[in-house]
Amino acid sequence: MPAIVAETSAPTLIPDVDDWAILLDVDGTILDLAPTPRDIRVPASLRDTLERIKVRTAGAIALVSGRTLNDLDGIFAPLKLAAIGGHGAEMRPWPDTAPRRSHAQPLDPALRMQLAALATAGSGILFEDKGYSIALHYRLAPEKGAFVREAVAAISRRALQRLELLEGTNVIEVKHLGFSKGTAVRELMAHPPFAGRRPIFIGDDTTDQAAFAVMPQFHGIAISVRRRVTGVDFHFDTPSEVRAWLERIVPADESASA
Ligand SMILES: [Mg+2]
């Protein structure tokens, strides 16, 4: 394997599919962000690339997302991968096993209602109930960002449950304390086919930092997208660069002749 050369530049390494596990955030990392979460599109070539990685790593590729596993399966269908959903609330080490939801508790209905009320019709603020978390998006009205963040913080302070706020790109999310992408990645790495491999995690947002932070425990590599994050090993500027790099790991012709 080539040596790791420069800090926070695009990775030059092409990981050996026998030794590494590929862990990928979804929105803003392998998929371009869309005006609303429902508008997200999966390029057909990406689906093919992920399928090839799945075959050549013996299943050691996982999506690591704030979306639920159900949502991820719908977006990538017919492809099904190992995955972490709900920012770590759900985890399945094999594509066809039932998700483990041991860390997930429902959010209080009163909290949901108060957060939903912030997104009034035509305001450009979008309420998204992800099951294990609630997101308020203001991509369509970025000037309302400060208002949304302050209102969500005030509502969460009054809540009876212990909550965590995750600020992302034009979005703020509310979830329970006690699980994160980092805790779920650690759990995932204890299961075959991930156990014993070195993980590469690629992510673009605040919630991904918990997963970046556990990479050293597994001699893994952390790669950020768009933002240059302190402590990561490499950096991509755009999701299309990530997709091109993934394709280089498993060239289509090699897979065909394998
Ligand atoms: Mg993301």
pLDDT (tens digit, 9 = 90+) per residue, 200-231? Answer: 999 998 889 999 999 999 999 999 999 888 88
Is the pLDDT score of 3 beyond 60? no
Whether 205 is catalytic is no
What is the 30 CA–ligand 1 centroid distance (Å)? 8
Cα separation values, 88 from 30, 127, 144, Å: 18, 20, 28
Q: How far apart are CA 236 and CA 239, in angstroms?
A: 8
What is the 169 CA–ligand 1 centroid distance (Å)? 9
Is the pLDDT score of 110 beyond 50? yes
In the chain, CATH 3.30.70.1020 covers: 109-176
In the chain, CATH 3.40.50.1000 covers: 20-102+179-257
What is the 258 CA–ligand 1 centroid distance (Å)? 33
Q: How far apart are CA 139 and CA 125, in angstroms?
A: 8
Catalytic residue among 16, 25, 73, 233: 25
Domain 20-102+179-257 has CATH 3.40.50.2300: no
Name the band, by pLDDT with cuts 50, 70 and 90, for residue 252.
confident
| Average pLDDT score over residue span 62-84 | 95
Rg, Å, the chain Cα set: 18
Pick the CATH number of 109-176 from 3.40.50.12640, 1.10.10.10, 3.40.50.1980, 3.30.70.1020: 3.30.70.1020
Nearest alpha-carbon partner for 201 in 55, 39, 88, 209: 209
Is the pLDDT score of 8 beyond 70? no
For residue 102, the model assigns a pLDDT of: 63
Phi, psi (deg, nearest 5) at residue 206: -55, -40
| Average pLDDT score over residue span 49-56 | 97
**Which helix (H) or strand (E) segment is 245 a member of?**
helix 239-249
Q: How far apart are CA 130 and CA 152, in angstroms?
A: 16
Full-model pTM = 0.87
What is the 121 CA–ligand 1 centroid distance (Å)? 26
Is the pLDDT score of 4 beyond 80? no
Provide the 10 A C-beta neighbour count for residue 16. Answer: 12
What is the 153 CA–ligand 1 centroid distance (Å)? 21
Nearest alpha-carbon partner for 63 in 172, 174, 235, 184: 184
| Average pLDDT score over residue span 13-33 | 93
Query: Euclidean distance between the first and final Cα of the chain, in Å?
Result: 20
For residue 163, the model assigns a pLDDT of: 93
Is the pLDDT score of 7 beyond 70? no
For residue 214, the model assigns a pLDDT of: 97
